Structure 1
């Protein structure tokens, strides 16, 4: 490539020639061919334009109205529960249960428990005992993207 930009012109000419050839072939109705032709034309015509974004404010103060809205959301009560496992049994077998009966669950011993908030899985964890009370140590938190996928 020479310093006067001659090599760049050759590249642009080759891209334009390829776009024309593909445009001639693309008359069959394949949408991908049309997209490729448009992309090649844009590449030959000067390339992509840089995206423009607003400047981020690192420590943008929260307005009084925003704080009030946030306080309203933060005060909504939710129910958090831990699920050891599940089992499906018939009503006949349910009615036969009494003290000392054992119900087999679908979990293997040592497998993490499910942490549910209002019935939605948000994490997995293990049981811990602190000051004679049970607790749960979160071992895996479900990402927001995964939680949204499960809602659909």
Structure 2
């Protein structure tokens, strides 16, 4: 009778392996029955849904009014904020984080699975220059990834976090 000494890491790796196999089976069973026309329809539906979801968002006219209000300082002098519109920013999406020792990091190879600190289905963070501006969910339509914003952090909250 031989007993195997399974560590919690071995159990986690087995769980991840099982999850990856299950995901691969689900993807195979779905098949790829849509052509280019189906992809366009899916994106059109996603864009329509996005347009309908903007009821709570600031309208284009309201945004223009806010922007125009910023153009004049308290003395009535005109400020040229158009310069700001051309400043490049880095937009990044964070689906989770993990900590690993260098030993474990060096053991990673193709096909390795890195466990993150978030649960499946949990929203990801949308960061601009390292500052959280929104939460969103990943959408996949015919092998193309996108992000649907589910919660945008208000400008007032973002300014508070800068201080």
Normalising by structure 2, what TM-score?
A: 0.50
User: How many residue pairs align between the two structures?
Assistant: 92
**Superposition pairs for residues 1-152 of structure 1, below 5 Å?**
66=78, 69-130=80-141, 132-152=143-163
How far apart, in 1, do the equivalents of 2:152 and 2:113 lie? 31
Q: Which segments of structure 1 move beyond 3 Å, counting only runs of 4 or more?
A: 60-63
Segments of 5+ residues of structure 1 without an aligned counterpart are 1-57
How far apart, in 2, do the equivalents of 1:70 and 1:150 lie? 23
- CA-CA distance at 1:99 after TM superposition: 1.1
The RMSD of aligned alpha carbons is 2.5
Bigger relative contact order (CA 8 A; separation at least 6): 2
Segments of 5+ residues of structure 2 without an aligned counterpart are 1-64
